[in-house]
Amino acid sequence: MRSIFAAILMTAPLLTACASTGQKSDYQADLERLEASCTDRQGILTPTGLQSGRPETEYACRITGVTSRIPSN
């Protein structure tokens, strides 16, 4: 019984460290910046399938607006 209580006391600081502080994480802020940049270019973010902890490698901007490099005559 004592060992269970000791184990609970030892894990309590770890659980409180994971509690939300109400602040945005760096990842979330970077993702929002990336999404805004992509939206400005008439695109949408699509997942790349990679898991790196960095939004710029986990998402690609797919341009959905009408863009062309071929000059119109």
pLDDT of residue 64: 87
| 8 Å CB contact between 38 and 65 | no
| pLDDT value at residue 15 | 47
Within the chain, which residues score under 50 in pLDDT?
Answer: 14-16
CB 15 within 8 A of CB 41: no
Provide φ and ψ at 53, rounded to 5°.
85, 5
* Whole-prediction pTM: 0.58
